[in-house]
């Protein structure tokens, strides 16, 4: 007969994960745990916390990738230990980053893509700040050489993603932000010319606006600055914030001129983990040619072995996402990206047409690839007499798992609230139809059963259930 110690019996009873002592006790929250526990129990504790998160596939607020192929998941798992900055230890990973930069230089029509200069980053916000820093250094160097004051740099832009507000504050640059208007919603050439002077380090043109999804007209603004230089001698460069549009227009509207085909465009940032289709954690910053990136900003680091140049705000960072980006370039090529992005615009067109037909809405961006990114944004029609607002609708949509942000627009349009959906890889036409069915159902429900108190904006200009749009 087998003999069993009492402790063996207790261990056997604990074989059921949720009958274990560890999961029957409150888990540590704000004090560092004192003891260790079995791996699967620790994993179960974490997983139980995460089930309260929303479904990323139904998050129509985020710009970021929420669906990847299994091959990408495998690559991430195999490369999690690679450090992107350690180019001596991981030379082939560094080579893959190099290839991505060259491919993007080719995609964005750099004069000499084989000799272009750029870097991967943790996201487009970091890449944007690097573009701003390069512009500030170029301006300061030119002013100093001419014996002029270098203490009052400014940056001209429209209603931008928060990274540019951070840039101005962190790096002591005046942000000359043109207010959004209900006529265009985007930065205009006239607004740019009103704000440029000898202290302007660059004009940021947003190619895929966070608030509405619309493209700002890079070509028209460049032409206005050309005219300004011809009249005054003032030479103001352009940085294009193509966080989302940089991976859309080259495949869906290649005739749209916004990139290095315009000589005034000196740098571009884009987000690999948005419409670049890579997993979260990679962005790209490119310069027109090597002279546009001041050498003083590039550090030569030798203590990891070899001699590695680096121009980033971060240092150690994961290489796996860069490798995954290279995989996507190889996997899809121009043809694949065109098909993937084209499908997103097809879904956007379906949503725009259906939302417009519902009655109470007025479209701002219809998801037309000539006008903006694969997104649809709308407001309540001024004549709509609804007993609810967009915040109420956003709250109702959450009951089915949909996150459809409602938010107020920036300065001078604070009283105008809009709603926006972003279409991403993995959002099929069937999902679009399910979304539209739920949207109509909730509009009907709100009309039939108006909220006793309509959700209002708080003092910060946001609902308690939704936030102002970011680049997340």
The answer to whether 75 and 324 are in contact (CB under 8 A) is: yes
Residue with tokens 């000898």: 198
User: E strands within 288-339?
Assistant: 299-301, 308-310
Q: Per residue of the chain (472 residues), what is the pLDDT tens digit? A: 455 555 555 554 557 888 887 888 888 899 999 999 999 999 999 999 999 999 999 999 999 999 999 999 999 999 999 999 888 889 999 999 999 999 999 999 999 988 889 999 999 999 999 999 999 999 999 999 999 999 999 999 998 889 999 999 999 999 999 999 998 999 999 999 999 999 999 999 999 999 999 999 999 999 999 999 999 999 999 999 999 999 999 999 999 999 999 999 999 999 999 999 999 999 999 999 999 999 999 887 765 555 567 888 988 999 999 999 999 999 999 999 999 999 999 999 999 999 999 989 999 999 999 999 999 999 999 988 899 999 999 999 999 999 999 999 998 898 999 999 999 999 999 999 999 999 999 999 999 999 987 776 543 444 444 445 655 5
Break the chain into its structural domains and give their ranges: 73-328
Residue with tokens 């274990």: 20
User: Shortest CA distance to 222 belongs to which of 183, 181, 266, 279?
Assistant: 266
CA distance 118 to 260: 13
CA distance 211 to 161: 8
Angle between helical axes of 429-448 and 320-357 (0-180°, round to 10)? 50
Q: Order of strands, edge to edge, in the sheet holding 154-157?
A: 117-121, 283-287, 265-271, 238-241, 200-206, 154-157, 174-177
CA distance 320 to 184: 40
- CB atoms < 10 A from the CB of 18, how many? 9
Q: What secondary structure does DSSP assign to 220-254, as a single string?
A: HHHHHHHHHHHHH-----EEEE-TTGGGTHHHH-T
Helices (H) and strands (E) in the chain, counts: 12, 13
Question: Dihedral, CA atoms, 15, 17, 22, 26, nearest 10 degrees?
Answer: -160
Token couple for 77: 């798992």
Token couple for 221: 């603004």
Q: In Å, what is the CA distance from 180 to each residue of 77, 103, 177, 185, 416?
A: 44, 35, 9, 5, 11
Helix, strand, coil shares of the chain, percent, nearest 5, are 40, 15, 45
Q: What is the pTM of this model?
A: 0.92
DSSP SS3 for 300: strand
DSSP SS3 for 283: strand
CA distance 378 to 213: 11
Beta-strand relationship, 361-365 and 375-380: antiparallel
User: In sequence order, what are the residues at sequence separation of 6 or more whose Cβ sits closer than 8 angstroms to the Cβ of residue 13?
Assistant: 19
Q: Order of strands, edge to edge, in the sheet holding 417-422?
A: 361-365, 375-380, 417-422, 406-408
Residue 142: in which H helix or E strand, if any? helix 124-145
Token couple for 363: 């479209």
Question: Dihedral, CA atoms, 243, 134, 85, 67, nearest 10 degrees?
Answer: 0
Token couple for 140: 């300061």
Q: Could you tell me which CATH number the domain at 73-328 has?
A: 3.40.640.10
The answer to whether 247 and 274 are in contact (CB under 8 A) is: yes
- CB atoms < 10 A from the CB of 367, how many? 26
């Amino acid at each position: 007969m087998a003999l069993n110690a009492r402790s063996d019996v207790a261990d056997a009873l604990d074989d059921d994960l949720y009958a274990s002592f560890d999961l029957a006790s409150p888990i540590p929250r704000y004090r560092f745990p004192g003891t260790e526990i079995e791996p699967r129990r620790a994993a179960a504790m974490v997983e139980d916390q995460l089930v309260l998160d929303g479904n990323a596939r139904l998050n129509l607020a985020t710009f970021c990738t929420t669906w990847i192929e299994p091959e990408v998941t495998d690559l991430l798992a195999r490369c999690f230990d690679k450090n992107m900055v350690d180019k001596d230890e991981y030379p082939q990973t560094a080579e893959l980053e190099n290839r991505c930069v060259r491919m993007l230089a080719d995609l964005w029509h750099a004069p000499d893509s084989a000799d272009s200069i750029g870097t991967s980053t943790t996201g487009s916000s970091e890449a944007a700040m690097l573009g701003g820093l390069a512009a500030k250094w170029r301006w300061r160097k030119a002013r100093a050489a001419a014996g002029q004051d270098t203490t009052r740099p400014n940056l001209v832009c429209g209603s931008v993603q928060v990274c540019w507000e951070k840039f101005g504050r962190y790096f002591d640059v005046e942000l000359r932000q043109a207010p959004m208007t209900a006529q265009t919603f985007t930065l205009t050439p006239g607004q740019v010319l009103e704000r440029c002077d000898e202290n302007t380090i660059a004009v940021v043109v947003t190619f895929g606006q966070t608030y509405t999804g619309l493209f700002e007209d890079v070509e028209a603004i460049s032409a206005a600055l050309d005219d300004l230089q011809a009249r005054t001698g003032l030479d103001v460069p352009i940085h294009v914030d193509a966080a989302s549009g940089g991976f859309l227009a080259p495949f869906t509207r290649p005739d749209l001129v916004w990139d290095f085909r315009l000589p005034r465009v000196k740098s571009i940032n884009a987000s690999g983990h948005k419409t670049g289709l890579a997993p979260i954690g990679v962005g790209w910053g490119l310069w027109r040619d090597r002279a546009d990136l001041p050498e003083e900003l590039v550090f030569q680091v030798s203590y990891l072995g070899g001699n590695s140049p680096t121009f980033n705000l971060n240092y150690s960072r994961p290489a796996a996402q860069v490798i995954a980006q290279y995989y996507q370039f190889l996997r899809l090529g121009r043809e694949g990206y065109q098909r993937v992005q084209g499908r997103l615009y097809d879904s956007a067109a379906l949503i725009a047409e259906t939302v417009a037909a519902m009655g109470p809405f007025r479209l701002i961006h219809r998801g037309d690839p000539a006008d903006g990114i694969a997104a649809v944004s709308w407001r309540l029609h001024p004549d709509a007499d609804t007993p609810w607002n967009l915040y109420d609708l956003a709250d109702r949509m959450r009951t089915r798992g949909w996150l459809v942000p409602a938010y107020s627009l920036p300065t001078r349009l604070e009283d105008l609230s809009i709603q926006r959906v972003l279409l991403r890889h993995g959002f099929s036409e069937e999902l679009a139809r399910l979304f539209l069915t739920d949207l109509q159902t909730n509009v009907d429900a709100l009309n039939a059963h108006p909220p006793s108190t309509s959700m209002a904006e708080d003092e910060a200009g946001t609902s308690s259930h939704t936030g102002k749009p970011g680049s997340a």
